[in-house]
Amino acid sequence: MKQQRSGKIITVRSVAGTAPSADGGYAHYGAAKAAIAHYTRYLAQDLGPFGITVNCIAPGVIATGRIMQTVVPGSSQSNRDRAELVALRRLGTVEDCAKVVEFLATDLSDYVTGPSSRSTADWSVDKTRRAVKTWRE
């Protein structure tokens, strides 16, 4: 990438890296995800002069098999409906995250580098979809 003076790096962390959980559990997971965000900012500064953008997405609660078994309403480990915490009142999907990655991997994001995009319905999936739709039209 340095030799060709262009490229895109996209890392994935979690919103768990932004604040501790209510019960204080999973500190190791949150610390690791926070480190990915910080590393992404360093890479963006280091590689920017070479035309390489570096961005990070931070999915919230995404409806994967593990999540559907452990934290959705009615499961043994669930104490509330996680969808109620999201602006769109639904869990995100893998496809929602993929669309944010797609945006960051295209030339539509050529001047975006360094930030973490929260891939939750309260910010980036909805806004990114609208932005991509507008830019494609």
Catalytic positions are 29
Buried-state track 101-135, b at ≥16 Cβ within 10 A, e below 16: bebbeeeebeeebbebbbbbbeebbeebeeebeee
Grouping H, G, I as helix, E, B as strand and the rest as coil, residue 91 is coil
Put the strands of the sheet holding 52-59 in their side by side order. 7-12, 52-59, 116-119
DSSP assigned state of 82: G
User: Facing residues of 12 across strands?
Assistant: 57
